A and B are shown apart, each in its own frame.
Chain A
Amino acid sequence: MSSTILTTILMLGILAIGLAVVLYIVAQKFKVVEDARIDEVENLLPGANCGGCGSTGCRAFAELVVKSDDISPLFCPVGGNETMAKIAEMLGKKVEAKEPVIAVVRCSGSCENRPRTNEFDGAVSCAVMAATYSGDTDCSFGCLGKGDCVVACEFDAIHINPETLLPEIDETKCTACGACVKACPKLLVELRKKGPKNRRIYVSCMNKDKGPVARKECKTACIACAICRKNCEFEAITIETNLAYIDADKCRLCRKCVDTCPMGSIKEVNFPPRKKDTEI
């Protein structure tokens, strides 16, 4: 009886040692030598796995950063300049500070400005809606309001305002990862420079119809009247296919275009309220 127990223990013991040796040899033979810096870089990254950098996740980005000699084209929008500087310092590589950007929605077609002419009864998805028809208002360029951008945002930074039915961006949460830019079938979201003191000016419209048509479709549509371009002292405004666009690099935030736009389609963000009759 006791010999049976002894034999069993002995047999299993020998087997275990044998297998351990095999495992050790295999582990040595197939050992993958990984750059330890990849782990360190990954620890510095925010770990959101949002894909905003263009890689499939933070790990992939870390590998890319360690492998590349020149890391200046690589950028983690979520971590921003601070994180990139830390990574560069750790790896001993150079990186230039990038101007921070933020998402803006280029449509002002609220329910008031753009009455609904029909009701969409299909799947709750902007992509499906855009593939089906021109939309539930007369404007075929504006926001569809089904919230594909809201679903795409990993940071809870974009929400549909129930009153205007337009998406609004929470500036404190937006990391400029660009997920909403890709999700919007009408290409309404743009990543724009945050600007000094978070102040920025942009044309909040994507309507490319001719002026008279656009005017009928929405009360705040850009009608390409070119008044803004005429008033801009810095040649920051261009008009293409019946739509004005402000070049953020040239714009000096004088707000003349905002004041003179007859349709009110140019928006200013984070400016202090105007003082009457005095230049700011």
Chain B
Amino acid sequence: MIKTFKKGGVHPSENKLSQTAALEQLPPEGVVKIFLSQHTGAPAECVVAKGDRVKTGQLIAKATGFVSANVHSSVSGTVLGIEETADYQGIKKPAICIQVEGDDWDESIDRSTEINRDLSKSAEEIKAKIAETGLVGLGGAMFPMHVKLTVPEGKTAKILIINGTECEPYLTSDHRVMLEKGEELLIGVQLLKKAITVDKACIGIETNKPDAIAHLKQLVKNYDGIEIVSLKPKYPQGSEKQLIKAITGLEVPDRALPIETGCIVSNVGSAFAVYEAVQKNKPLVENSVTITGKKLKKQKNVIVRVGTPLSKLIQAIDGMPADTGKIISGGPMMGRAISNLDAPTLKGSSAVLFMTEKESKRGIKSECIRCAKCVDACPMGLQPFLLYKLAQRNMLDELKENAVHACIECGCCLFTCPANLPLVDYIKLGKTRTR
């Protein structure tokens, strides 16, 4: 039976234009800018100085505290210093700037393409390696991976869930990883299972990727305790709570972490990164990014070094199409519009989406007609129209009573709203104000 989550959700047109484009490397050049804070938690502390020569994969900033992550140089070259650099949203944050000179990797990193199937490392060793290599969840929130894998005392993990849904329209980088790096991905899943000592892992994949399902089902025969679960395409299935509901039928309680249900969720990109970190000693210095859009001549899935400026990605697809109205980092549902073309990519960047002028415009706003479409669409069972009004009037107590904190900002309400109200805009504001 094909599973899915029950409450709410929408199914926007998929537009997986780049799904046939094989992953390709984007060679580093020019200057890369690597943010000290590209994870949830405390920013890392810089350990290199201006003028230092660094190699690819060398540690350049150290984690400060438990909820923080190491940052490594994604290129080899000379450190130009720490500069206040504007990110995608134009907000200035400190970043280490490195002038690229050749591509000289750190000797400890195994760069061969040979698959390392050795699973003898202990749970502690695996976790230590993951923390050392600065892995963060690549699903979007960029939460430090070693924190996620640390099961709180008194709780036990029973099942590892791997998110291969890629429910956002347009995005295909995870799909390509599943097709091209299937074997490595499964070894990564085995390592993760070992790290949190569970016997079972489920990889949830939506049925709009039949080739990935077939490919992984073939490969999984050689690995114990991994199940491929077919899921009905529905957004936001990739969200932690919805994915747990879809695969296990369990509901994560309000204000609780997924571990309450015995689940730990990670995504396929992260599992592949775990393989590279543990088996090849390779830090998180590059990740796969989809470059797509309806008017693009070339659709691409590229492996990009962390800190590459966006303008370099635009060069890779031979320039921006003439009638681009909006550029989005991430998918069209949850991604955020980019206001600064020189901003560098992050560890967790998943896509750059070019929308045409027509697509990018929001519809004309009118009044709420109380149709409750947003209530039907909300996967968290909230009342978006009400939260919207409360946030507009800054009624914080009422917002708290109506569980504004539970909103996952998926955008289903805005997607279905016939009056084109900026629901998520205000609900997000309400969330930050009640925090």
Binding site for B on A (CB under 8 A): 117-118, 121-123, 125, 127-128, 131-136, 138, 140, 209, 213
Contacts and interface: CB of A to CB of B under 8 A. Distances in A.
Interface of B: 84, 86, 89-92, 326, 336-337, 339, 360-362, 422, 425-426, 428-429, 432
B90 A128 contact: no
A213 B362 CA distance: 33
B432 A131 contact: yes
Contact of A134 (B91, B326, B360, B362): B91
6 residue pairs, one from A and one from B, having the closest CB atoms:
A134-B90, A123-B422, A133-B89, A123-B425, A118-B339, A128-B425
Contacts of A132: 89, 336, 425, 428
A118 B337 CA distance: 10
Q: Which of B92, B425, B432 lies at the interface centre, i.e. has the most chain A CB atoms within 10 A of its CB?
A: B425
Nearest to A136: B339
A131 B429 contact: yes
A109 to B, nearest CB: 15
B89 A128 contact: no
Given A121-B361, A127-B429, A140-B91, A134 B422 contact: no
Contacts of A123: 422, 425-426
Q: Which of B84, B90, B91, B361 lies at the interface centre, i.e. has the most chain A CB atoms within 10 A of its CB?
A: B90
Contacts of B91: 133-134, 140
B125 to A, nearest CB: 42
Nearest to A210: B84
Contacts of A128: 422, 425-426, 428-429
Contact of B360 (A117, A121, A133, A138): A121
Contacts of B362: 121-122
> Per DSSP, are chain B's interface residues mostly helix, strand or loop, or mixed?
mixed
A71 B388 CA distance: 40
A131 B429 CA distance: 7
Contacts of B89: 132-134
B215 to A, nearest CB: 39
Contacts of B432: 131
9 contacts: A118-B339, A122-B425, A123-B426, A131-B428, A131-B432, A132-B428, A133-B91, A135-B90, A138-B90
Contact of A122 (B86, B90, B92, B422): B422
> Per DSSP, are chain A's interface residues mostly helix, strand or loop, or mixed?
loop
A138 B326 CA distance: 17
Contacts of B429: 125, 127-128, 131
Contacts of B360: 121
A125 B362 CA distance: 15
A123 B417 CA distance: 14
A122 B429 CA distance: 12
A223 to B, nearest CB: 16
Given A128-B425, A138-B90, 7 more contacts: A117-B339, A121-B362, A123-B426, A125-B426, A127-B429, A128-B422, A140-B91
Q: Which of A118, A123, A134 lies at the interface centre, i.e. has the most chain B CB atoms within 10 A of its CB?
A: A123
Nearest to A121: B362
Contacts of A121: 326, 337, 360-362
B366 to A, nearest CB: 14
Q: Which of A121, A138, A213 lies at the interface centre, i.e. has the most chain B CB atoms within 10 A of its CB?
A: A121
Contacts of B428: 128, 131-132
A132 B91 CA distance: 10
B431 to A, nearest CB: 9
Contacts of A117: 339
Contacts of B336: 132-133
A117 B341 CA distance: 11
A236 to B, nearest CB: 30
A134 B326 CA distance: 16
A133 B425 CA distance: 12
A131 B91 CA distance: 11
A190 to B, nearest CB: 22
Nearest to A183: B394
B433 to A, nearest CB: 8
A132 B337 CA distance: 9
A121 B426 CA distance: 14
Nearest to A130: B429
A48 to B, nearest CB: 19
Nearest to B326: A121
B90 A140 contact: yes
Contacts of A209: 92
A212 B362 CA distance: 37
Given A121-B360, A121-B362, A134 B426 contact: no
A60 B380 CA distance: 40
A20 B245 CA distance: 63
Given A117-B339, A118-B339, A121-B362, A140 B92 contact: yes
A132 B425 CA distance: 8
A133 B86 CA distance: 11
B339 A134 contact: yes
